[in-house]
Every structure is written in C-alpha cells, then in structure tokens.
Amino acid sequence: MSEFNNKCVIVTGGASGFGKAMSEKFAAAGASVVVADLNIEGAEAVAGSLDQAIAVQIDVADEEQNRNLADAAVDAFGKIDVVCANAGIPHRAGRAIEMDTAEFDRMFAINTRSVFLAAKYCVPHMPAGSAIVTTSSIGAKRPRPGLAAYYAAKGAVLTLTQALAVELAPNIRVNAICPVSAPTGFDQNASGMAELSDKVNAQIIAGIPMGRRATPEDVADATFFLSSNEAKFLTGVCLDIDGGRAIQ
C-alpha cells in the first residue's frame, strides 16, 4: 500500500497546469484529492477523472472561501494530510514602475495571502506528520525583467514558507518549490499570447542548462517528494525545479 492511501490532499489551482499534474500524481498513489480552483468546470473535470476526488470552487485570495475549502475537505475525507498551496497567477509582463497599483496588490493577494489563508484554515485539521508545499518561482530567487510584482509576491511566499516551517514544527512540515518557466497557462497570462514564439522559447531555454523548460510532471514529482516520508526531515526547504537556471 502507498503511504498516501487514506490520506487527504488539497491542491489549489488544481484544474490545470502544475495543479492538475499534482492532483493526478497523488491520486495515482492512492490519495483522496480535493481539486480546488476558481475554474470549477476544470476542477470538476480533473476530479471526475480520478478515483477518489471532489472539486471545490475557490478564489484563493478570499478568506471565507478558504474556510469553506477546509470544511469541504474534512466533510468529505475526515482530515487534511497534505496541502499543495499551488494556485497563483502572473501579471502581464512590463516595467514595474508603469504597473497599475491595484494589479500590484492583486499579485500579493492571489500569490501570497492565499498561502497564509490556506495554512490558517487547514492546519487545525492536519494531524502530526502532515505537510504543506507552497509553489513559489525560481524568479523569486533570480528575477528577470518584466515580472517584478509577481516575483516579489513569490519571494514573500518563500519567507512565509520558512516562517511557517519554524512555527509548525515538528508536527507539520512546510516546504516550497521554485519552478522555472513551463508551458502552462502562465505563458498566456504573462505574454498575452496563446503560445510563445519559437524565438522567445529559445531565449528561455538558452538560460536553462538542462536544455528544456519544466513540465507539470517535473513540478508534481517534486511536490510529491516533499509531501512524502522520504522527505520526513525536510522543512523550510525551497527546492529549485529549474534545470539549473539559478546557477546559470
């Protein structure tokens, strides 16, 4: 039996991209999965493809909806063992000083406050040995021009992750992943294009020693590891899933 049998895993942003791959990875290991997303149709489609899963609609920046998410998980599966605080969104690429202030604030609401709210409402239902994994970005450590507010919000996720790790130890481990660019909906949100041009794609890959961008499965694998007993002595870790971009 997998260690995730009879475990409840919440994945925010679970309808697509990294979150969809995470949901599928945990479900394949026997977990009961709560697929949480603002896109309820997408969440229902993912949950419906898994053996034991429910879909919950959530705006991750909203406090009451986070409370409802935790309650829905407990009502369905009795407890919460893993929280993948994965939901996030970039802004359209551009110079920071030309950015609308409301959009700057929105980056912190969706990308950072969401992690705080997930912990606030899920932790009371998490038994000893549980884990939280947050999704940051390699840009939080090594930013590039154009996404300053997004990277700043993701940098705050790293600090919040480590602070929570100290506060919740030894009962609950809290770690972060820092993915590099991947072909997900992020591209469309940041660039305004359905797909990156071959030129832009080549420029991104040129900065990644492994010679390719990340895949959702790469990110799901790392999240799965940090949630597992194999990582039982890891907390406060910010794991780069970047093919070497941070050392390039």
Query: Is 121 one of the annotated active-site residues of the chain?
Result: no
Please name the residues in contact with 102: beta carbons below 8 A apart, sequence gap of 6 or more: none
CATH class of the structural domain 8-241: alpha beta
**88-134: pLDDT as tens digits:** 999 989 999 999 999 999 999 999 999 999 999 999 999 999 999 99
Number of residues written out for the chain = 248
**172-215: pLDDT as tens digits:** 999 999 999 888 777 666 666 667 788 888 888 998 999 999 99
Strand partners of residue 145: none
Q: What is the mean pLDDT of the chain?
A: 95
Q: Which of 152, 78, 160, 77 is nearest to 114 (CA)?
A: 160
Residue carrying structure tokens 């929570």: 164
Catalytic site residue from 4, 108, 150, 186: 150
